[in-house]
């Protein structure tokens, strides 16, 4: 009898210690991945990943410290058409920052283009072309 009573008391005590599950943070990010002539525009929002595969049309990298544009990447995808990303240098009080942004074209708002939601986000370019 004492063993049953002790089991019930421990069960109630442990049930009171149970915590509701904490919601885990979801991954978010926007990436332009370049590998030689292939490109992938990847949009991760609330842990869900969508990507648009395409072909690299043009890559221009500028080394001038006086230019606000440091690089340009142009790719073409079947659903989104030609897309351009610009890396822009911004001099701020605590240093130089670079922002990678996707520039609008007419096809970004069409239903087949999965990366149109990334227009207002800052992108990270991963260039594995060597």
Q: Is the pLDDT of residue 56 over 90?
A: yes
Q: Is the pLDDT of residue 45 over 90?
A: no
Say how far apart CA 8 and CA 21 lie, in whole Å. Answer: 24
Confidence of residue 125 (pLDDT cuts 50, 70, 90): confident
Sort 51 into a burial class: Cβ within 10 Å, 0-12 / 13-18 / 19+. Answer: middle
The tens digit of pLDDT for each residue in 78-105 reads 988 888 888 877 766 566 656 777 876 7
Say how far apart CA 100 and CA 80 lie, in whole Å. Answer: 18
Q: Are β-strands 29-35 and 122-127 bridged in parallel, bridged antiparallel, or unpaired?
A: parallel
- Cβ atoms of 55 and 75 within 8 Å: the answer is yes
pLDDT for 64: 72
Torsion-angle region of 28 (φ positive above 0: left; ψ -120 to 50: alpha; else: beta) = beta
């Amino acid at each position: 009898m004492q063993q049953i009573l002790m089991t019930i008391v421990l069960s109630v005590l442990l049930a009171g210690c149970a915590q509701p599950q904490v919601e885990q943070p979801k991954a978010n990010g926007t990436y332009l991945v370049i590998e030689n002539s292939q490109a992938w525009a990847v949009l991760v929002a609330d842990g869900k990943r969508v990507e648009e595969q395409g072909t690299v049309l043009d890559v221009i990298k500028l080394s001038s410290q006086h230019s606000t544009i440091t690089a340009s990447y142009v790719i073409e995808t079947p659903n989104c058409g030609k897309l351009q990303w610009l890396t822009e240098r911004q001099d701020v009080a605590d240093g130089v920052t670079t922002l990678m942004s996707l520039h609008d074209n007419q096809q970004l708002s069409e239903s087949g283009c999965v990366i149109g939601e990334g227009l207002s986000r800052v992108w990270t370019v991963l260039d594995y072309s060597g």
